[in-house]
Structure 1
């Protein structure tokens, strides 16, 4: 009898530990759901030029002649007369829903609008006029894992929502079930060319516009100012971030390395080499002999290092690492002569002597620790630095001491 009871007890215990019941669960969690809009509707809303507006969030920066262009992510472009960097004056806001990048050549502004490329006449920068639109060319930029996502509709914003999920799962008290979490970002030669920063995805060279998305490079012929034409899409692999032109070459920053393409034949970019590094965000600037690459950690970057890498590019087909220097959280960077400028995000802005590449990162010439910075343009009149709090300009004629000229501040978004 005792033996029978023992078997019964063991059987009951096994049924508790291993037995499973079908249990109906109803969970609630707070998330942000996408709001879709058809591109046909968005195209009727855009390209309006309005009076200058306060900047609520900074994106990319660009300069052309005496004008400064500041992108407000997904909204449009603020245009400033910058003839006097000590007193830049806002002249217009160009409303472009879905805008992130821009480039200018011969008084024509090229800008993205979600999946479209737009071209504007800048003969009068206070009143840009739309010249042309090429629809649905940036097919890899706005792709989401949502049922309703197509090229004909894009996510225009997110809304906070409490949702419930009813489902059946196999329940066992000794199994630790996966808890679902969702994270969202608050955003997601010849002719007269402008100048962009190191975080740019658009660049112009040899009568062509090169625009990179997450996995490819789109090529446009812009020799006809009034009618740019899409030529081809070149697959590059996933993780593409930035593009930087130097002479007849393009240096493409990715989250796993730097790609070098030759564009002597502008319509047929030729890959020369790939320099690989650990996974991290990767803007790049170059001179004749070296490429300067910053790698950083962050939620989007998924990196594990914060460093400056100096890469020997004398042989473009065989780039090689020269030296690595520890940084705090390097973002964009700029090169002017023998001075390298590095944006350290919330840790400030630094300048380094670049002539000795083996010692460049050990001791900065200057460190503006209170200046939040994400990208920089060493312009002909001023050093232009953009960060979360706005855009500041400095006189950098004395490389040992930057002199503040002006700041365009961000107006905080009201809840």
Structure 2
């Protein structure tokens, strides 16, 4: 009798453990769905997205970078405000460097390096001519943008010539 109780107990424990492996909510398909879909842009268009524009108001400021008489103020996810600080008592907005999904900037030897989504872009900026010159773009240096659920773009089968620029929730 004791042997049967042990066997029954072991059997019930095994069933409880294996229960976690059973598909729920109608099958494996539901386990492989996402509530989001990627918003993509053709790489060629994505790379053309960097633009030097007129100054604009600061709305969502991020990090501040200073190089000589210039201040680069990050507008989170949108680019950098360029401010002439040659007179620190009266800093003057000069331009806005539009770089969608820009998160960081570093400056070395007058070359500005920007994290542009998955790419690292190197460029120079001239205050005198208010001009921008892209020196180099290193593609796919940074990880791709993950969905709010933490899924990588490979889950969605994003084509190689497309860059994920965001996600939208599906109904």
User: Shorter chain as normaliser: what TM range?
Assistant: 0.5 to 0.7
Please say if 1:155 is aligned against 2:164. yes
Q: Larger RCO: Structure 1 or Structure 2 (Cα < 8 Å, ≥ 6 residues apart)? A: 2
Provide closer, same or farther for how the CA distance between residues 158 and 136 of structure 1 changes in structure 2, counting only shifts above 3 A: same
Check if 1:37 corresponds to 2:41: yes
Matched, 1:142 2:124: no
Deviations, residues 142-189 of structure 1 (Å, cap 9, x unaligned): 254232246643221232331xxxxxxxxxxxxxxxxxxxxxxxxxxx
1:258-303, Cα deviation, whole Å (9 max, x unpaired): xxxxxxxxxxxxxxxxxxxxxxxxxxxxxxxxxxxxxxxxxxxxxx
Q: Distance in 1 between matches of 2:139 and 2:168?
A: 26
C-alpha distance 86-32 of structure 1, shift in aligned 2 (>3 A): farther
Query: Per-residue deviation at 1:92?
Result: 0.2
**Does the CA-based 8 Å contact 2:43-2:162 persist in structure 1?**
yes
Offset, 1:77: 1.1
C-alpha distance in 2, partners of 1:149/1:56?
Answer: 32
Q: How many residue pairs end up in the alignment?
A: 142
The TM-score, its normalising length taken from structure 2, stands at 0.65
* TM-fit CA distance, 1:23: 7.5
Distance 1:141 1:58, change over 3 A: farther
Contact 1:118/1:130 (<8 A) preserved:
no
Per the alignment, residue 82 of structure 1 pairs with 85
Query: Aligned equivalents of 2:47 and 2:97: distance in 1?
Result: 14
- Residue 143 of structure 1 contacts residue 149 of structure 1 at CA under 8 Å; is this kept in 2? no
Q: Is the 8 A contact 2:54 2:95 kept in 1?
A: yes
**What is the DSSP-based 3-state SS (H/G/I as helix, E as strand, rest coil) of the residue aligned with 1:40?**
helix
Residue matched to 1:325: none
The change in CA–CA distance for 1:66 and 1:161 in structure 2 (over 3 A counts) is: same
1:96–1:51 Cα change, 3 Å: same
Which has more helix, going by share of residues? Answer: 2
Distance in 2 separating the partners of 1:54 and 1:125? 22
Write the distance in 2 (CA, Å) between the matches of 1:109 and 1:23. 51
Normalised to the residue count of structure 1, the TM-score between the two structures is 0.30
Q: In angstroms, what is the RMSD of aligned CA positions?
A: 3.4
Do structure 1's residue 67 and structure 2's residue 70 form an aligned pair?
yes
Task: Please say if residues 125 and 133 of structure 2, whose CA atoms lie closer than 8 Å, have aligned partners that are also in contact.
Answer: no
**Structure 2 runs not aligned, ≥5 long:** 1-15, 17-21, 147-151
Rounded to whole Å, the distance in 2 between the matches of 1:75 and 1:148 is: 26
Of 109, 113, 138, which residue of structure 2 is paired with 1:110?
113
SS in 2 for 1:84: coil
CA-CA distance at 1:65 after TM superposition: 0.8
Residue correspondence of structure 1 range 328-407 to structure 2 within 5 A: none
Structure 1 residues 57 and 32, CA gap change in structure 2 (3 angstroms): farther
